[in-house]
Amino acid sequence: MDNLYALIMAGGGGTRLWPLSRKKRPKQMLPLVEERTMFQISVERLEELLPPERVFVVTGRDHFEQLKSNVPEIPDENFILEPFGRDSGPAAALGSLHIHHRDPNAVLAVLTADHHIADAAKFRRVLAASAELAQENYIVTLGISPSYPSAGFGYIKRGEPLTQVGGFQVYCSAGFTEKPDPETAVQFLASGLYSWNSGMFIYKTEHILSEFARQQPAMHSLLEEIGHAIGQDNYNQELERLWPNMKKLSIDYAVMEGAKNMALIPVDIGWSDVGSWATLFEVLAGDLNGNVSRGHGQ
């Protein structure tokens, strides 16, 4: 699909893995699971699906040099730099705006830079299937089949069956729930109707920008002003002027919870957010006694 693009969200601080992960070197810049950084692996798993020219990265200016050195194959102009973080809503919106400016027919997969995915081949297949559905003006979210009743993740409820695409069953989304209390998480798991919210979405850029216009008109007005400056000499100046007025919102709160034509594909791809020491130990292989080590000891 020549109009499929990826936007890797690489601006997080990774504070939950402190002291290993720090503000100046968050977890996406660390070789936590393999010898390569989490960010490098996130880019590499797309290689069989997309050329580097259609992989974009949104991150903070302070992280550009280090991230770019990890993936020299991605063009400099594909790095979309925020003056400072405003959460995932504005980050995804800014990235979508730039890619829409490049290709008004773009279908975009918004992905994470710091999650572990064991089954990369299945991940690529579900992205391709999701892109087909997004062409029909659906916003597709990948729901992770929950393995335990976590109170640390958001959940998405499965609605009525919608269709099958690429061998994957697709459902209507019946609503998002932010991190529930432990008792509710147990109920969600027992019902069999809920998936973890992976934070990965596939949509037409035209569609998501229309959702920002409908649900977040003030944010969309700022995006329009920024959009007029893309490719112009005053772009950085305009971004600096307008960005402080951008509301700090997650993409879920900004548009996904109220979006029209929301579709859910529950999928098991060996996913982990590697968001804590406990989840990191689960991903890493241990010895017979359960001990885990990484790096080179002295």
- Model confidence pLDDT, tens digit, residues 231-275: 999 999 999 999 999 999 999 999 999 999 999 999 999 998 765
Taking the C-alpha atoms of residue 41 and residue 33, their distance in angstroms, rounded to an integer, is 9
pLDDT tens digit sequence for 125-180 = 999 999 999 999 999 999 998 989 999 889 999 999 999 999 999 999 999 998 89
Mean pLDDT of 195-208: 97
Mean pLDDT of 203-230: 98
Task: Answer whether 42's CB lies under 8 Å from 273's CB.
Answer: no
pLDDT computed for residue 175 by the predictor: 93
Q: Which one is predicted more confidently, 113 or 293?
A: 113
pLDDT computed for residue 152 by the predictor: 87
Task: Answer whether 30's CB lies under 8 Å from 67's CB.
Answer: no
pLDDT computed for residue 36 by the predictor: 86
**Contacts of range 273-279, beta carbons closer than 8 Å, 24 or more positions apart:** 273/112, 273/114, 273/115, 273/116, 273/153, 274/17, 274/27, 274/32, 274/33, 274/38, 274/114, 274/115, 274/116, 275/16, 275/17, 275/152, 276/16, 276/17, 276/152, 277/17
Pick the range with the lowest mean pLDDT from 5-19, 55-69, 92-106: 5-19
Domains located in the chain, CATH noted: 4-135+199-261+270-283 (3.90.550.10)
3-state secondary structure of 210: helix
| Start-to-end Cα distance in the chain | 49
Could you tell me which residues come within 8 angstroms of residue 228 by beta carbon, excluding any fewer than 6 positions away? 238
Place 287 in a pLDDT band, splitting at 50, 70 and 90. very low
pLDDT tens digit sequence for 30-84 = 766 677 898 999 999 999 999 999 999 999 998 999 999 999 999 999 999 999 9
